[in-house]
């Protein structure tokens, strides 16, 4: 499960007090299109880590936890 985090980049925005995370394949969205569906956002980095672990590091699996 911890291997799920290897391809993810995290960024903290001190202006909004939010964390963002994106897979390395979506790295550009993290800086140029933060509203992309492929960028996860939360006020807590722990929440982002939990979500990424639940989707096994694959952003395409996000629907599986959103529909619960």
Band of pLDDT at residue 3, cut at 50, 70 and 90: confident
Contact 16, 26 (CB under 8 A): no
Residues 8-44: pLDDT tens digits? 999 999 999 999 999 999 999 999 999 999 999 999 9
pLDDT at 68: 62
> CB atoms < 10 A from the CB of 13, how many?
11
What pTM was estimated for this model as a whole? 0.87
Please state, in angstroms and rounded to a whole number, the distance separating the CA atoms of residues 8 and 20: 10
Contact 57, 4 (CB under 8 A): yes
pLDDT at 37: 92
Residue with tokens 């952003």: 59
């Amino acid at each position: 499960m911890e291997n799920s985090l290897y391809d993810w980049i995290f960024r903290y925005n001190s202006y909004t007090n939010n964390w963002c995370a994106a897979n390395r394949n979506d790295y550009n969205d993290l800086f140029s299109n933060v509203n992309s569906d492929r960028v996860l956002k939360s006020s807590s980095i722990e929440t982002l880590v939990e979500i990424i672990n639940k989707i096994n590091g694959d952003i395409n699996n996000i629907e599986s936890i959103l529909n619960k």
